[in-house]
A and B are shown apart, each in its own frame.
Chain A
Amino acid sequence: MNYFMNLVIVPLGYADKAITAANEVGATGATILRARGADHSAKDGLFSIKIEPEEEIVLIVATKEVTGAICNKIHAEFEKNSKRGGSIYILPVQELEE
């Protein structure tokens, strides 16, 4: 079975929401990393202080069907209920041991 690793990058605090959404459509677990990003829309601050928005990266391993469902679900969740968006990157997995 082909698996994919989803990197769901969301603003800080939204990871639990993303995981709840993913679990509803069949994901079986997730790992959260805390990160900071380089946002294009964030303005360069005064006195060369750079703004690095805090983010959370949610890692979910899932099959192709579940991956599609997760993406649709998260899009639907975040479309209305949040100001800041995020992104999902999908990496192909060669082999999985669970």
Chain B
Amino acid sequence: MVNQEMPNGMSYSLLAIIVNRGKGSKILGFAREMGAKDASCFFGKGTINNNILKMIELNEVAKEIILIVVPGERETEMLDRLNEKFHFDRPNHGIAFTMPLSGILKIKRDTSIKWNNCSLPVKNQWDYTALFLVVDKGKGESVVRISQEAGYYGGTIIKARGSASNLNIVLDKIVEPEKEAVLMLMKSKSAHQLAVLLREELHLDQPNTGVLVKIGVSRTTGLFQNGRQDGEAEQ
């Protein structure tokens, strides 16, 4: 089967939005109104980096993560309209970021992937990077703790279940099928340092411990550090 390429100039991005729980359906509806191709939404839990709240164990906050697929040329427009309505540019209103997609396939309709050749060479010059880490259940919090203690942002923990193919039957029983996925967004420079730190702490180089994936982020809005807004990263 020959791989198709996307029509010239067509590219798609994945828009990820993290907001407090309860806003998800509103954003899904809004995305549908705007004519988004596909959208889905799932629950996660975030952490607040506050020592007092941590002491009384109130530093968890329920979050919702929304993934929307948007055409590349409408990316800015969509972000602006979402900003207008949901005010990601103010602190504590949620964050939104886009990741360029390198391929897309509708299972029922298309017979093969449409590769997006513009973003195929993996670029390393993005300002921000999304770290996506899949670990066993219960380790998600220690990942967030490790990253906060090292002075980075916290992360959002998502419940998941997993499977591995290359296991023998005896080992299969030991591997926890319940997993936690941690999503973290940070400057590309610190992402590399944190990735190295996490690999050491969690022994990711050994099999069946977890997977860490770094994905380039082209545009962000709503990221704050020490009360001031970080400059919006332009592509």
Contact = CB atoms under 8 A, between A and B. Distances in A.
Q: Do A and B come from one complex?
A: yes
Interface of A: 2-5, 7, 9-10, 19, 23, 27-38, 40, 50, 52, 55, 57, 59, 61, 67-68, 71-72, 74-75, 78-79, 84-98
Given A91-B215, A92-B119, A97-B205, A37 B113 contact: no
20 contacts: A28-B166, A35-B42, A59-B160, A75-B105, A75-B110, A75-B112, A78-B108, A85-B109, A86-B108, A89-B104, A90-B102, A90-B104, A92-B100, A92-B102, A92-B215, A93-B122, A94-B214, A94-B216, A95-B214, A96-B212
A94 B129 CA distance: 9
Interface of B: 1, 3, 12, 14, 25, 28-29, 31-32, 36, 38-42, 67, 69, 99-113, 119-120, 122, 124, 129, 132, 134, 158-166, 179, 181, 192, 195, 198-199, 204-205, 211-216
A72 B102 CA distance: 16
Contact of B3 (A30, A31, A57, A68): A68
A73 B111 CA distance: 10
B163 A30 contact: yes
Contact of A89 (B36, B103, B132, B205): B103
A88 B104 contact: yes
Nearest to A83: B108
Contacts of B105: 71, 75, 87-88, 90
Contacts of B100: 92
A28 B28 CA distance: 32
Contacts of B14: 7, 89, 91
Given A29-B164, A90-B103, A97-B199, A35 B41 contact: yes
B25 A50 contact: yes
B46 to A, nearest CB: 16
B227 to A, nearest CB: 29
A3 B212 CA distance: 12
A50 to B, nearest CB: 6
Contact of A96 (B67, B102, B213, B216): B213
A34 B47 CA distance: 21
